Amino acid sequence: MVDSVLLLLGGIVLYLFGMQVMTDALRQLASRSIRNLLARFTRSPLSGAMIGAGVTALIQSSSATMLTTIGFVGAGLITFPQAIGIIYGANIGTTVTGWMVMALGLKLHLGTLALPLMLSGALVRALGRARLARVGLLILGFSLLFLGLDYMQRGTEGIDMMPLFRQMPADTWLGRGVLVLTGAVFTVVVQASSAGVAMALVLLGAGTLSLPQAAALVIGMDIGSTVKSLLATIGGSRDMRRTAVAHVAYNVVTGLAAFLLLGVVTAALVRLTGDPLSALVSFHTLLNVIGVMLLLPFTGPFARLVERLVPDDGTLASLRLDRALLSDADAALDAARGASDTVAAALFAALGARLGPAHDGERLVALAPRLAAATAQIEDFLTGIEIEGGKPGPLRRHAALLHQFDHISRLAARADQQSRIALVLENPRLARPALVLGAVLRQAAEDMADPTVHGRLNRLAELVARRAARLRHSVMLRDRVGPVSGPGVFDLTDAMRWLERATRHAERIVHYGIRAAEPDPAAGSAPDPWFMDLD
């Protein structure tokens, strides 16, 4: 009996490790394609569900799909209702693992080929480079997964003699409810619902559980998988908390519907397939498909309900970046870009109001403390991003975000110089370009990705630089003949410097925001002359 327990536990560990290795390899092999699919084709909850299902089936990880989705929501690439569609699809896509285990592991007994496969995978991993080495890692993970499944099957040979399994709950409504709870607890402890489904398939194949009992376990495992999402959102952003709440609600609704129809559905499926194992994985897939069918038509109201449950307080202080996203560099870069753009837009709007016709400075005053908290969070998050393998595209995106953040910080410091802003607005030769800057800033606050905004800011920066040079020369000549006092000269040159550099900071913020939005920014651009010496 002890040997059976050790084999069972060892099989679970090998299965989990193999799944992790295989998932990591698949993500590395298809990372850019997956991100392009999610960003380009998620246009509605329905398309999001389809893409989410396909992506999750490909990389065998609903968690990885959700992390990428959260990063896109934070960056503004997709909306929260579109993200809900991806959640729907991710739950359907993760059921592919059950089909793979049932067909290859339990019917074809692929575990017998695991060791030769491991040898070939290890050789490819050791001798190959870059993409070929990742293929070797994929083979290794695949082999470990089925070797673990083989050990789990061997461990169940004496399982009926174990006290735990001799006292399994009866196949009644109460007993099924206990099994739902058991499945949820198992998934919370193991942190992988796919391992739970594999375990249920093994127990069903060994005759330890009936089909309805195994199906009850699977329902619990689907519900238990949401706990991981909730734990990941502790201290996280509003959008991640909303995503986790939507995930929980989806799984609870589908689980409740499946539990009420458990006996009828399993009986129909076993008659249709003629095989309890096929019936169980069909039930798991059907469970999630029914959930999508129930909730997809009501995604709009469902999203609004979640938004009310997790409200937005409308302040930059609530803009918290999720440390969990740091495990995926691309998702972290998307989230950081979204946060930086949000902060830049708030700063542009407030400074644009101060440089507007009404010279409204109240928004700048109100923004200052919230801006400080938000920039501190972004700085901490940006320094925590690590680019695995020194990939050029992500490295350039990261560098662009660091440049953008530097200019945001410097422009925020200049926006706090109210006396110099007043001097700019009082001088007839500086007030006109300042008003134009205010108008462009207000336009940029509405849409920072608009290329015409960057063009206008760049032309304005060049115009202001030329005008400042002429005015500086004129002032110095006037000073030599005496009409302008020394303090007056310094005030005017300070005002000119403020306008010139504030304009250039704004142009650089938009420029680097555009670069950070590109999947692979072009290399070889000219160095930023304003990065190091603009105080």
- Report the alpha-carbon distance of residue 294 to residue 476 in Å, rounded: 75
- Report the alpha-carbon distance of residue 49 to residue 302 in Å, rounded: 15
Output the pLDDT for position 275: 87
CA-closest candidate to residue 305, choices 63, 84, 52, 67: 84
- Report the alpha-carbon distance of residue 335 to residue 327 in Å, rounded: 12
- What is the phi-psi region of residue 236: left when phi exceeds 0, alpha when psi lies from -120 to 50, beta otherwise? beta
Place of tokens 């039930």: 283
The angle, 0 to 180 degrees and rounded to 10, between the axes of the packed helices 392-415 and 362-383 is 150
- Indicate if the alpha-carbon torsion angle 242, 244, 248, 254 is positive or negative: positive
- Report the alpha-carbon distance of residue 214 to residue 232 in Å, rounded: 28
Output the pLDDT for position 436: 92
Place of tokens 């619990």: 220
Asked whether the whole model's pTM tops 0.75, one would answer no
Amino acid at 409: S
- What is the phi-psi region of residue 389: left when phi exceeds 0, alpha when psi lies from -120 to 50, beta otherwise? left
Phi first, then psi, for residue 350 (nearest 5°) are -70, -45
CA-closest candidate to residue 471, choices 434, 430, 502, 505: 430
3-state secondary structure of 386: coil
Residue numbers in the chain where pLDDT is lower than 70: 1-2, 4-5, 26-36, 39, 60-61, 63, 67, 71, 74-77, 105-112, 153, 155-168, 191, 228-229, 231-237, 239-240, 312-320, 322, 324, 389, 472-489, 522-535
**412, HSE (Cβ side, Cα atoms, 13 Å):** 23
Phi first, then psi, for residue 408 (nearest 5°) are -60, -45
The angle, 0 to 180 degrees and rounded to 10, between the axes of the packed helices 80-93 and 299-309 is 110
- Report the alpha-carbon distance of residue 482 to residue 375 in Å, rounded: 45
Output the pLDDT for position 534: 43
**516, HSE (Cβ side, Cα atoms, 13 Å):** 31
Pull the structure tokens for residue 454. 């960057």
Pull the structure tokens for residue 430. 């500086």
